[in-house]
A and B are shown apart, each in its own frame.
Chain A
């Protein structure tokens, strides 16, 4: 017998859809609000402002060292909420499936979504599934939206970076981006290279709780485009220059070696479990200590400073004592010839 696969019927809204929902989705994503199968989730609200975000995931391969499309979707959406200081309340999960997808693959992804939700304490509250004819999508796409609550005294935004602020990166750069590229290419780069995908909302909550209100000015997660691109966005939004120090950038030897091999710059590679924090200089050391004490934050480092210059340029003091400019990413990073 051939393995069970996704059929167009599974997206029809009829019996097959219902079976998929009850036998797979609710089995893994059991939550009373979701299980009610109403047209929308109604969530108890507290004091504070609502944060709302959405993101689509189309990663190839679906499974990679350190994660998969399911866990990445949950972490990515939680992190987008966390970067504004929001406490995540719940997620939506919308799937676009290609006809013929093996049911076992879908189950693996949903189980991973469930695990990531459980570990992070953020449930899926609403969902949707569509199936498109074979060839009209690549196996499995996910869209997740998230809602969260931002306490009234929290204000985090790129424009709030101020001259003199210190910039902290919560760990090594480029692990995720290089892992994906290496698994796509079938390259074994050795070492413990794996995606850094993880939810950052607990790290953020502890950071904000441990520091004087208002002393953290910006939080950003350097996903696609990497650290370089986000620093450029901060510089432009705040109208300040940014100076970083190459020697301070946390980098795994495997990532450095792999980047050299493929002609890539780790500053432009995606991260899925790191944050950049821009904090007032007087709390920088305390912030660093708080981050280093967190799971996944052990290698946090102060990597630079917001400058006085209004040029909005990002520059880097290189390891050998030279200076170079850091520009935003143009197009997808491509491995070079030779």
Chain B
């Protein structure tokens, strides 16, 4: 683990923070668009090292947070059906639907809800429970989609007839294009998500830099990685450049992971998708292509996604767009805490509200 330690080096971190301080001449707002970045920033105490005037805001990159209440309602309806067992990644089970209940509630009422670590675990469940209908709830971005695609392909090869996927898989570029296409937004630069970039490639951010003159830097997740990426962003801003730069070359290439891309393209096709707080974004979701429709839970099990209102008073929608900070929400820290979450941003460990609540020294006051 020597390798990782270099990226946590105190001296290096301090030097980078000092360089940031010297380079920054006026206030700048940088958006980090990945839940893992949000967590890493808070956990490492990195915010306490940043120069005053450099603000980090979180974007729509926490997969649980952007899952719409309408989708959670549909998950709940499905989990409540007799003979159905749903398989899901961990942090989704606490996300409230439009009436405030979650899969965790449903489980306590007797619904079969299993936390799995990989979509392939869903196949195992289907094999072990041949008399039940097993549905994997597909939530996530480019990082989880290849795994879901591989699982669906394996299910077809095996001829499993009791396994389905309820896909709400999303892609990162459409919401970013929508967000930065809005002339009202006030973000100066983008810290691009390391894991997503490993799949889609650094070049994918080209349109943001060209069309919206937005500096984009791909960064890793160790504190020093993040500081390096921030320094590149601030330099671009100070020098009036807007380019895509890659500060995470040990993992991310310009073209990304072509094998994963072709697997996803074989199994999935783009579809309009609803995002929590952002509404329906054209082409931002993925659905199974025709040859794989026999595994599509929405189509085969007749699950309806009925539009639902978000929780009243919750600012998650604005927070996910970088337009508000958690302490601005009147419910933050009073009615809404990690034990009693009202909005999804407080549920997921990578949600912005939860990160502020759990880790922030001064911001929550």
CA distance A333 to B338 in the complex (A): 11
Known: A324-B361, A325-B361, A334-B94. A316 touches B349 (CB 8 A): no
> In the complex, which residues of chain A have a beta carbon less than 8 angstroms from the beta carbon of B93?
334
**Chain A binding surface, main DSSP class:** loop
Residue from B1, B4, B10 in contact with A320 in the complex, judged by beta carbons closer than 8 Å: B10
Contact indicator B338/A331 (Cβ below 8 Å): yes
Check if B44 is an interface residue, CB within 8 A of chain A. yes
Contact indicator B350/A323 (Cβ below 8 Å): no
CA distance A320 to B5 in the complex (A): 10
CA distance A250 to B219 in the complex (A): 28
Contact indicator A335/B223 (Cβ below 8 Å): no
CA distance A327 to B346 in the complex (A): 14
- Chain B nearest CB from A214 CB (Å) reads 34
CA distance A315 to B115 in the complex (A): 32
Determine the residue in chain A with the shortest Cβ distance to B346.
A330
**Chain B 17-66 interface residues, beta-carbon cutoff 8 Å to A:** 35-36, 39, 42-49, 63-64
Contact indicator A336/B35 (Cβ below 8 Å): yes
Contact indicator A334/B90 (Cβ below 8 Å): yes
**Chain A 234-266 near chain B by CB (<8 Å), digits 1 or 0:** 000000000000010000010011000011010
Check if B348 is an interface residue, CB within 8 A of chain A. yes
Check if B123 is an interface residue, CB within 8 A of chain A. no
Check if A185 is an interface residue, CB within 8 A of chain B. yes
Contact indicator A265/B43 (Cβ below 8 Å): yes
Determine the residue in chain B with the shortest Cβ distance to A338.
B143
Q: How many residues of B contact A (CB 8 A)?
A: 49
Determine the residue in chain A with the shortest Cβ distance to B49.
A322
Check if B261 is an interface residue, CB within 8 A of chain A. no
- Chain A nearest CB from B8 CB (Å) reads 5
CA distance A265 to B350 in the complex (A): 12
Check if B14 is an interface residue, CB within 8 A of chain A. yes
- Chain A nearest CB from B28 CB (Å) reads 19
> In the complex, which residues of chain B have a beta carbon less than 8 angstroms from the beta carbon of A321?
10, 13-14, 45, 49
Check if B71 is an interface residue, CB within 8 A of chain A. no
- Chain A nearest CB from B199 CB (Å) reads 10
> In the complex, which residues of chain A have a beta carbon less than 8 angstroms from the beta carbon of B42?
324
Check if B292 is an interface residue, CB within 8 A of chain A. no
- Chain B nearest CB from A262 CB (Å) reads 8
Residue from A316, A322, A333, A335 in contact with B89 in the complex, judged by beta carbons closer than 8 Å: A335
Which of B125-133, B316-324, B352-360 contacts the other chain?
Answer: B352-360
Contact indicator A336/B349 (Cβ below 8 Å): yes
Check if A42 is an interface residue, CB within 8 A of chain B. no
Residue from A257, A323, A330, A335 in contact with B339 in the complex, judged by beta carbons closer than 8 Å: A330
Q: A320-B45, A330-B337 are in contact. List 20 more A-B contacts (CB 8 A).
A: A185-B117, A253-B1, A256-B4, A262-B117, A320-B14, A320-B46, A321-B14, A321-B45, A322-B13, A324-B43, A324-B44, A324-B360, A327-B357, A330-B338, A331-B339, A334-B93, A335-B117, A336-B91, A336-B348, A337-B91
